[in-house]
Chains A and B, each alone.
Chain A
C-alpha cells in the first residue's frame, strides 16, 4: 500500500521521521504532532464526496453534541475501505511507531464526525484500555471565529483548568497525540453556521 498516494511524501522520509520523533516527544502539554497538508488535496475531495453519501446520526450526551457515522471499519465504501487499509498498513503503523515510540497492534477505530453551530466535545482524556494514539484528519478548514478548535489542557495538578494549546482546523492536517491520563482535550463549541468535518479514531496497542 503506497502511503505516497495518500499523504505528502515529504513527511515520510527517514530524515523527516527523525525530526517528527523529536518534535512529538518534546511537544507540550503532552506528546502530540500537527502535520499540515499531510492528506493530499485530491484525497480530501474523494473522502468528502464519499462521506456525503454516509449516514451521520446526532450524538448527544453530558459530554458531547455532534453528528457521527457508525464505525467505518464495517463500511462497504471503496474509498473509505482503501483509507482504512492505508491506516492499518504496516507502512503507516511503522511510521507512527517510529514517531511515537509506542507499540501498536494494527487495530484502529475510525469515525467521521460533523460539528455544526453549538456542537462541542467537553474535556476528557480518551483513556480506554488499549488506546495508544488518538488521531484526527481535518477535511475542511475553519476560521478562528468559527470555533471548533481542538484544545489541549495543561498538566494535571498544575494548570489542569487552563488550555495550553489550540489548533484551528485546516483541510488536510493530521493531528495525533499519545493517549494517557495527561491527554485532556476538548473540541470547543462551533460558533457559526459552518461545518467541521473530520475523520478520527485511535490506534491500539
Chain B
C-alpha cells in the first residue's frame, strides 16, 4: 500500500522550523546518537488516517528465531511534501520512502545477529501507537555495542530520524506480557 498525499503538521512546513530541525539533525552527527525526534509530526486527521491505513495492511508473521519475531508488511510514502521535508533535513535526495510496517505483539523481538547486520544509513521511524508503556518492551533501541543503549521513547504521531553509523546497531526489545492485549505499530525505513 502507498500514500502519495501526506499532511504534515503545519509547524514543520515553516521555513524557520525546517531550518531548526535540519540544524539539530546535522549537528547531532557529533553526538553518540545522531538523531532527532519530531512530535506531532502529522496533522491529527492524517495521523488517524495513516493509523487506519497501516492497520488494514496484510501483515505476515516473520520468525527467524535467532534474529526476530514479528508481523511485517510494506508501506510506501511518495508524497512530495513528506519527501521534500526529509530531503531538506537530511540533505539527501529522497523521492519516495519504502517502509517496513511492523506490528509488534506479546513475545515479539529483534536481536542483534552478525548474519543480519544492516547497512549504515539514516533510519526513519514513524510511531503509530498511542499510549504504549515503555515497560511493556517492544522499544526500538540503538546500541554502540559497548554496552550503551539508546531507546527510542515510544511516542504516537512522531517521526524519528537516526543516522545509524557503522558502529550503531538497532534491535527491538522483547515485548512482554504486560502488553499482551496491545499492538504496537511502527513504520521504519533506512535511506
Contact = CB atoms under 8 A, between A and B. Distances in A.
A62 B66 contact: no
A161 B174 contact: no
A98 to B, nearest CB: 32
A118 B143 contact: no
A161 B177 contact: no
* Interface size of A as a range: 10 to 19
A72 to B, nearest CB: 22
Given A120-B174, A189-B107, A189-B174, A62 B65 contact: no
A153 B64 CA distance: 12
A27 B176 CA distance: 31
B54 to A, nearest CB: 25
A123 B66 contact: yes
B174 A123 contact: no
Given A62-B111, A189-B107, A122 B174 contact: yes
Interface residues of B, number: 18
A184 interface: yes
Nearest to B171: A62
A63 interface: yes
Contact of B65 (A118, A120, A123): A123
Contact of A189 (B63, B110, B173, B177): B177
Contacts of B66: 123-125, 184
A184 B65 contact: yes
B136 to A, nearest CB: 9
Given A118-B176, A189-B174, A191-B177, A62 B141 contact: yes
Contacts of B176: 118, 120, 189
Contacts of B143: 62
B178 interface: yes
Interface string A174-205: 00000000001010010100000000000000
A71 B141 CA distance: 28
Given A62-B111, A62-B141, A189-B107, 9 more contacts: A62-B109, A62-B112, A62-B173, A63-B112, A118-B137, A123-B66, A124-B66, A161-B64, A184-B65
6 contacts: A63-B112, A118-B178, A120-B174, A123-B65, A160-B65, A161-B64
